[in-house]
Amino acid sequence: MDLYEYQAREIFQRYGIAVPEAETADTAREARHAADRLGGRVVVKAQVKTGGRGKAGGVKLATDPAAAELTARHILGMDIKGHTVRKVMLAQPVDIHAEYYVSYALDRAAGRFLAIASAHGGMDIEEVAATRPEAVTRIPVDPAEGITPTAAAAIATAAGLPPTTAPVLQRLWKILTDEDALLVEVNPLVRTTTGDILALDGKITLDDNARFRQTRWGAGAPTHDDPLEATAAAKGLNYVRLEGEGEVGVIGNGAGLVMSTLDVVAGCGARPANFLDIGGGASAQVMADGLTVVLADPGVRSVLVNVFGGITACDAVADGIVKALETVRLTKPLVVRLDGSNATRGRAVLDARAHPLVEQATTMDGAARRAAVLATDAAAV
């Protein structure tokens, strides 16, 4: 579960990390009053769960309350990478001397966390990481040892950060462990002209699997900016719409298999549009709901269903797909790869249905290549 920036900064404050004074507003009029209380001159920031807000025009400086109202009116309702802005945060501006990047992220492959830090933070951190990888320090963190004062100082030194950032590195780690987070990021962490260290922006991703023991998260279901994610959540689907203009919709059974499928699709030169894990069940209703959500993404040009039969056999999955096609109007080519329990029987079920837009492949690589080709062909039409 991703948090909004204003929610992340509230957690930062609770753990002793300094942030600028700020308020949130749902309307332009509220933004004017908030700016007045904050001293007039404010930074108006779109609150959406995605990056690139600044480059999209979702972060603006307003010189007075009237300008804050006009700026908020422009930002509210804006679409940023498929996310509609329904709330803005107004923060007091600060005089910045230097910008840094710091984060802790789960490294699933290595079974530990990774400390990532750079003396070159801000909006261009992605470009820095791509063109100057040596400027971004990556240090493995043993969860059993955590971030001690010595470890925090070592990370700061390795990344070229001032020693005064070390306490922040320790507190961010405490947030990660206490709050059951998968990602804690500050970009930028800044040093002001007076030497203060402040978190100007923050991103926190909480582990949904820990909800049962995190009562402070609240009992309500998580909210979704993206309408397709909201629709999928209402249907009980584990769906995430990926950033960017993806053209291959991906459906699989099991998070690990779906993640691998995304990588294979990308390796074939196509961009996956989404993550959709149907889990252990593949009933007709589950398949119909999954196909409906994936096909509703206007950027999707082909769909790849990648299933490894285990508890749910492949013939049951195939039956689900066939029955789903009775209620879902298939408008994009569908590539299906079935492997595992009763795979041969499942393929025969799909062959018998002989839908003109449904193809089969026997390997994940072959299915991904075919889905990528179909997406490219559709884009050329």
Catalytic residues: 101, 185
Give, for 284, the enclosing helix (H) or strand (E).
helix 284-295
- Estimate to the nearest angstrom the gap between the alpha carbon of 115 and the chain centroid: 19
Orientation of helix 314-324 relative to helix 343-353, angle to 10°: 20
Helices (H) and strands (E) in the chain, counts: 12, 18
Distance separating the N- and C-terminal Cα atoms of the chain: 38
User: Which tokens hold the place of 173?
Assistant: 């780690």
Cα 370 from Cα 352, distance rounded (Å): 21
User: Which tokens hold the place of 94?
Assistant: 């600060």
Greatest pairwise CA separation for the chain in angstroms: 73
What single string gives the DSSP state of each residue in 29-69? HHHHHHHHHTTS-EEEEE--SSS-TTTTT-EEEESSHHHHH
Dihedral angle of Cα 334, 335, 341, 346, to the nearest 10 degrees: 60
DSSP class of residue 133 equals: G
DSSP class of residue 165 equals: G
215 burial level (CB within 10 Å; 0-12, 13-18, 19+): exposed
Dihedral angle of Cα 297, 298, 303, 308, to the nearest 10 degrees: -10
Cα 86 from Cα 279, distance rounded (Å): 32
Dihedral angle of Cα 293, 295, 301, 306, to the nearest 10 degrees: 60
The one-letter amino acid code at 125 reads I
Cα 23 from Cα 38, distance rounded (Å): 8
Non-local (6+) Cβ contacts of 177 within 8 A are: 143, 146
